[in-house]
A and B are shown apart, each in its own frame.
Chain A
């Protein structure tokens, strides 16, 4: 299974962009990258996902390198409420057609500072 590695922690000043890196050097060509965040042991919350192209939504941007071995989640204007653990996830096909495993990385604890 593809695995992801992330820095254990990062700080970011409020109002600045937070750039969270993820390494997934063993990812296969059809495996998607997802980002979730988790606040205070609540259920993980979806942020964004992508395969090859860069993606943007109302929460964040996802930049995937051309060789797909790494990606970066960008929160353009971090707020105190963005303090959370951010997980980079690879979706891996299961043995049964149409089933998938979502494999969590180790996570980055982002602290947004006032």
Chain B
């Protein structure tokens, strides 16, 4: 299984709503990532988790709250978002550092978020 699965594929929410995006992988990867991608722009890194601990936060506003409950699952909790937060949110994973890994990120297909 070399898949990263993201749900939901599409999400529409109001500015006062609370919602979550979910990402799951069963490749034994211990690093997981959230990226945000606006239309016609490259993906921008938001968060990196390593061994279920948050290791990188790229100064993301607190209305985005990541969570890594176990090594296979990564969530992104959304609260009080703005219309400009509408974007494609991509999850990715990679193997753990113990194996001196130099290979690739595996990406999911993304969750397309629209904030009204």
- List A residues at the B interface (Cβ < 8 Å): 32, 34, 36, 41-46, 49, 51, 87, 94-107
Contacts and interface: CB of A to CB of B under 8 A. Distances in A.
Interface of B: 4, 31, 33, 37, 42-45, 48, 50, 55-56, 58, 88, 90, 92, 94, 96-98, 102-110, 112
A53 to B, nearest CB: 13
B73 to A, nearest CB: 18
9 contacts: A41-B112, A44-B105, A46-B106, A49-B103, A87-B42, A97-B97, A98-B50, A100-B94, A104-B43
B43 to A, nearest CB: 5
Contacts of A36: 105, 107
Contacts of B103: 49
A46 B103 CA distance: 9
A48 B104 CA distance: 8
Instruction: Specify the main secondary structure of chain A where it touches its partner.
Output: loop
A94 B56 contact: yes
Given A34-B104, A94-B56, A104-B43, A99 B88 contact: no
Contacts of A104: 42-44
Counting from the closest, the 8 A-B pairs by CB-CB distance are A98-B97, A43-B107, A104-B42, A46-B104, A99-B55, A96-B55, A99-B50, A43-B109
A43 B45 contact: no
A102 B108 contact: no
A86 to B, nearest CB: 11
